[in-house]
């Protein structure tokens, strides 16, 4: 394939993902003209892409409404992603138990490649999760308690690379954004085994997290809870105890699975 053909193919893939993203942002789907306007793309190009994506089942044509919506193939992709990120049933049960014991939204986060990703969340109508911290959330590690735990466990070069790639945007006025600030904060996390963020990610919510480790002491994940700042201040000592206990139990549960670094995946057995 000539170089210009390869580049054209790459551009087409990028356009297809952009089209899927814009359709995903509308609950009722979109017309072809709306998609073309949103992407500033010629209508004939949009129609060609829509035909391909409908054929692959990544989109569906809602003919009665003359709209296009997300297709059912995306559900299979979501299921596969959740399976690859992997939260064993025993770990999911322990995160749910943490939610109940702490009376707070509870989170389990892991390293995935070069990202820090939320793998599991348990919340309730009275103790909702922080929006948008659902499954797959992988932003603002510098401003989240579970992110701080996993950043503190990185060696210096890997941490600097991560922060350079992701940046340290100010999510609120309390976010630590200076170069020296995170280093001092992460040293405290490494020393105490507890990470705290007080309204650094979003106003009205504070979080605390503890590391999940292997038997050798390698940090492989983090458990965390979030709650309103007033409740957080009053219960921080109690919550720290619950988090350390939950993190230890999650670590032990993982040792009975294939989810630890260095262990073979199901496809390798």
Q: Which domain holds residue 143?
A: 86-254
Per-residue pLDDT of the chain (269 residues; tens, 9 = 90+): 444 444 344 478 888 999 999 999 898 999 999 999 999 999 999 999 999 999 999 999 999 889 999 998 877 776 665 666 668 889 999 999 999 999 999 999 998 888 899 999 999 999 999 998 988 888 999 999 999 999 999 999 999 999 999 999 999 999 998 877 788 899 999 999 999 999 999 999 999 999 999 999 999 999 999 999 999 999 999 999 999 999 999 999 998 666 554 443 333 32
Are 16 and 94 within one domain? no
Domain harbouring 133, CATH code: 3.30.450.40
Residue 219 lies in a domain: yes
Domain match, 99 and 56 both: no
Residues 6+ apart with CB under 8 A from 55: none
Q: Does 158 fall in a domain?
A: yes
Q: Does 262 fall in a domain?
A: no
Q: Assess whether 30 and 125 both reside in one domain.
A: no
Domain boundary (75, 100, 123) is at: 75
Domain annotation covers residue 224: yes
Q: Are residues 97 and 211 in the same domain?
A: yes
267 part of a folded domain: no
Q: How many domains does the chain have?
A: 2
Structure tokens at 174: 């309390």
* 135 in any annotated domain: yes
Boundary of a domain, candidates 75, 109, 135: 75
The last residue of a domain, from among 75, 102, 123:
75
Q: What is the per-residue pLDDT for 258?
A: 60
- CB-based burial of residue 31 (10 Å sphere; 0-12 exposed, 13-18 middle, 19+ buried)? middle
Whole-number pLDDT of residue 10: 46
Are 48 and 180 contained in the same domain? no
Q: What is the model's pLDDT at position 81?
A: 58
Contact between 19 and 39 (Cβ < 8 Å): yes
Task: Report the candidate in 164, 222, 163, 167 with the shortest Cα–Cα distance to residue 197.
Answer: 222
**Do 42 and 95 have their domain in common?**
no
For residues 78 and 71, the answer to whether their CB atoms sit within 8 Å is no
State whether 99 and 21 are in the same domain. no
245 and 134 housed in the same domain: yes
Q: Judge whether 155 lies within some domain.
A: yes
Confidence at residue 257, expressed as pLDDT on a 0 to 100 scale: 67
The reply to whether 160 and 66 lie within a common domain is: no
Give the pLDDT score at 84.
62
User: Do 113 and 244 sit in the same domain of this protein?
Assistant: yes
Q: Would residue 183 count as lying in a domain?
A: yes
* 107 and 193 together in one domain: yes
CATH of the domain at 48: 1.10.10.10
Q: Do the Cβ atoms of 103 and 83 come closer than 8 Å?
A: no
> Is the same domain home to 71 and 90?
no
Both tokens assigned to 134: 């659902």
Helix residue spans in the chain (DSSP H): 3-24, 32-39, 43-55, 73-85, 89-102, 145-152, 156-166, 180-192, 229-254
């Amino acid at each position: 394939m000539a170089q210009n053909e390869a580049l054209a193919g790459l551009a087409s893939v990028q356009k297809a993902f952009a089209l899927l993203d814009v359709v995903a942002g509308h609950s009722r789907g979109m017309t072809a003209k709306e998609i073309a306007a949103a992407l500033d793309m010629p209508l004939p190009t949009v129609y060609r892409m829509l035909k391909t994506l409908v054929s692959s089942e990544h989109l569906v044509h809602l003919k009665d409404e003359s709209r296009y919506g997300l297709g059912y193939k995306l559900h299979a992709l979501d299921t596969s992603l959740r399976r690859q990120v992997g939260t064993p049933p025993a770990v999911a049960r322990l995160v749910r138990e943490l939610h109940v014991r702490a009376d707070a939204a509870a989170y389990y986060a892991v390293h995935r490649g070069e990202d820090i990703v939320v793998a599991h969340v348990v919340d309730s109508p009275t103790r909702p999760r922080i929006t948008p911290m659902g499954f797959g959330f992988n932003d603002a590690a510098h401003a989240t308690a579970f992110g701080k735990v996993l950043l503190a466990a990185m060696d210096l070069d890997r941490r600097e690379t991560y922060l350079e790639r992701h940046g340290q945007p100010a999510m609120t006025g309390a976010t630590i954004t200076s170069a020296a600030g995170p280093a001092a904060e992460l040293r405290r996390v490494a020393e105490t085994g507890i990470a705290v963020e007080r309204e650094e990610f979003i106003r009205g919510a504070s979080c605390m997290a503890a590391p999940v480790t292997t038997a050798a002491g390698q940090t492989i994940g983090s458990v965390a809870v979030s709650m309103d700042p007033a409740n957080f201040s009053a219960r921080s000592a109690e919550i720290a105890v619950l988090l350390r206990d939950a993190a230890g139990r999650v670590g032990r549960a993982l040792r009975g699975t294939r989810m630890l670094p260095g262990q073979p995946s199901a496809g390798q057995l």
